[in-house]
Amino acid sequence: MRRTFDLRLVDKRRIPESEPERQYYFMDIAKEYVRQLAEQKGAPLTFYVKTFGCQMNARDSEKLRGILEYIGYVGADTEDADFLIYNTCTVRENANNKVYGRLGGLGRLKKKNPYMLLGLCGCMMQEPSVAERIRESYPFVDLVFGTHNLYRFAELIVTTFETEGMTIDIWEAADRIVEDLPQDRSYRFKSCVNIMFGCDNFCSYCIVPYVRGRERSREPEEILREMKEMAEDGVVEIMLLGQNVNSYGKTLEHPMTFAELLRRAEQIEGLQRIRFMTSHPKDLSDELISVMRDSKKICRHLHLPLQSGSSRMLKRMNRRYDKEHYLALAERIRAAMPDIALTTDIIVGFPGETEEDFEETLDVVRKVRFDSAFTFLYSRRTGTPAASMEDQVPPAVMKERFDRLLAEVQACAAERAMALQGQRRPALIEEINEQDGALVTGRLSNNAVVHLPGTAELIGKIVDVELLECKGFYYMGRIAR
Ligand code: 5AD
Ligand code: SF4
């Protein structure tokens, strides 16, 4: 298909060396190729980016979409588009299985559309065995790249257009942070902003440090500039993203704490809400607690992954805090902000976990009373220290503990949510309700969801809502009179 034209537009002498200029040079070339293809097709070329995994990937997908739009592709709602990208996750094994499970079907889809390109990127591609398997078993894939060279997407598209066969480009580490590339925000009134990339914590079960690389913080000026531009563009809520935001700024030439970054972000005019993800309990400072407490914009929500309540397990997990530290921290946070929602991640069945260890986890859940918790079955990730630990927990035991944990977590969450029933709270209205077009859906500062009668004009606004009825995980409400 794409080889029906053979216009090698890249002029090697003129390729800029600096970024992002180099990528804009390639975007202009890609734009010309896309224009020619659309002319042959007799219709605009379409794209679809499917995101697996976390907020970090969702944000990366906005950057991919920004580039695809810049070069002339138009967004589609389904996978039978002319450029389909899977932005993959690999944190647990089932994330990988989901991608493999769908690849066969994509091969058939591609046969039907001579213009179709298929790209795979994201964390899963950083695993050496994955790229190998794709090369061997899925030859119809056109482009494979990783997390470290995502900023080179435009250049990779041009290479894909100009070469036969699969283009694979995966880097072992990141060489820089490139600013000012296009982005296509999913919502006009809220957005995520990366403040750092990678992770240096090496929790013994986790593959993230291997696929996302070493921790790198963005310069505060760049972050604040991006936030300011977004606020000027109508964004009222920003979520600051990092694998471990509490260690933000430590490696900068002029180090800055995360709390200080928040203090400055608070000054941005027009911005009304600030959220952040994820905090590591080992370095959540008292400075951060007091900045949160005194802030009018930072949302009353803290996601503080526990992983396990057993100090013995936490040591084996290389988490660098113990049960007492976590409990004391949760208490300090709740004392400073009684209305804060505490949410968490918990892994069940880490190697060596005994019934007593698991009971310790239940004990922390009962003591902290989380507003919600993501619970995961331990997944063995090749290459991590935990994968080769002895005493892997049998699946049946894991499942049984998982069910007990879930019941406990849900009971706590329901009880916490019930406490707000009948109260009035500001909510940012985000969308028309998916099930009922007469309702809109909003989010409270504490991240809880409320559905209420309303129309599209409310979207993007913060309104006072009466929480009429608590339905366990969400509320039914109405605009406060
Ligand atoms: N198995 C199960 N859960 C995991 N997580 C990370 N690695 C694994 C694994 N190997 C969970 C942790 C983390 C969340 C994003 O995913 O709870 O906080
Ligand atoms: Fe993984 Fe631990 Fe880093 Fe979180 S802090 S990304 S769990 S290694």
**pLDDT given at position 6:** 60
Please give the number of the atom of ligand 2 that sits closest to the Cα of 202: 8
Please give the number of the atom of ligand 2 that sits closest to the Cα of 243: 6
The kind and range of the H/E element at 194 are strand 190-194
d(CA 288, CA 265): 13
Sequence-ordered strand ranges (E) for 433-470: 439-444, 449-453, 462-470
d(CA 187, CA 179): 21
Q: Report how far ligand 2's centroid is from the alpha carbon of 202 (Å).
A: 6
Q: Tell me if 143 sits within 8 A of 30, measured CB to CB.
A: no
Ligand 1 pocket residue status of 56, Cβ below 6 Å? no
**pLDDT given at position 4:** 56
Residue 424: phi and psi, rounded to 5, are: -115, 130
Ligand 2 pocket residue status of 243, Cβ below 6 Å? yes
Please give the number of the atom of ligand 2 that sits closest to the Cα of 307: 7
Tell me the DSSP string of 355-421: HHHHHHHHHHHHHH--SEEEEEE----TTSGGGG-S-PPPHHHHHHHHHHHHHHHHHHHHHHHHTTT
Q: Report how far ligand 2's centroid is from the alpha carbon of 243 (Å).
A: 7
Q: Which letter does DSSP use for residue 430 in this model?
A: E
d(CA 424, CA 7): 62
**pLDDT given at position 469:** 98
User: Sign (positive/negative) of CA torsion 444, 290, 302, 232?
Assistant: positive
This prediction's pTM: 0.94
> In this structure, how many other beta carbons lie within 10 angstroms of the beta carbon of residue 23?
22
Residue type at 176 in one-letter notation: R
* Nearest Cα to Cα of residue 67 among 141, 158, 194: 158
**pLDDT given at position 73:** 98
State the residue for tokens 């310069």: 219
- Closest C-alpha residue for ligand 1 atom 9: 379
Q: Report how far ligand 2's centroid is from the alpha carbon of 203 (Å).
A: 6
**pLDDT given at position 8:** 73
* Nearest Cα to Cα of residue 318 among 239, 208, 159: 208
> In this structure, how many other beta carbons lie within 10 angstroms of the beta carbon of residue 62?
18
C-alpha 269 chain-centroid distance: 26
Ligand 1 pocket residue status of 303, Cβ below 6 Å? no
Bridge partners for 88 per DSSP: 122
Q: Which letter does DSSP use for residue 16 in this model?
A: -
Q: Report how far ligand 2's centroid is from the alpha carbon of 413 (Å).
A: 24
Residues of the chain with pLDDT under 70: 1-7
Q: Report how far ligand 2's centroid is from the alpha carbon of 469 (Å).
A: 37
Please give the number of the atom of ligand 2 that sits closest to the Cα of 200: 3
Ligand 2 pocket residue status of 201, Cβ below 6 Å? yes
Q: Tell me if 293 sits within 8 A of 334, measured CB to CB.
A: no
Bridge partners for 346 per DSSP: 307, 375
In sequence order, what are the residues at sequence separation of 6 or more whose Cβ sits closer than 8 angstroms to the Cβ of residue 56? 194, 212, 241, 243
pLDDT digits (tens, 9 = 90+) for 82-98: 999 999 999 999 999 99
Ligand 1 pocket residue status of 235, Cβ below 6 Å? no
What's the token pair of residue 206? 């986790």
Residue to mutate (ligand 2; options 196, 244, 313; most atoms within 8 A of CB): 244
Ligand 2 pocket residue status of 203, Cβ below 6 Å? yes
**DSSP alpha helix (H) spans, 20-175:** 21-41, 55-70, 93-112, 128-137, 153-162
Ligand 1 pocket residue status of 65, Cβ below 6 Å? no
What's the token pair of residue 38? 């659309």
State the residue for tokens 């138009």: 74
Q: Tell me if 76 sits within 8 A of 109, measured CB to CB.
A: no
The number of the ligand nearest the C-alpha atom of 381 reads 1
**pLDDT given at position 7:** 64
Burial (CB < 10 A; 0-12, 13-18, 19+), residue 296, is exposed
Q: Report how far ligand 1's centroid is from the alpha carbon of 393 (Å).
A: 16
Please give the number of the atom of ligand 1 that sits closest to the Cα of 206: 7
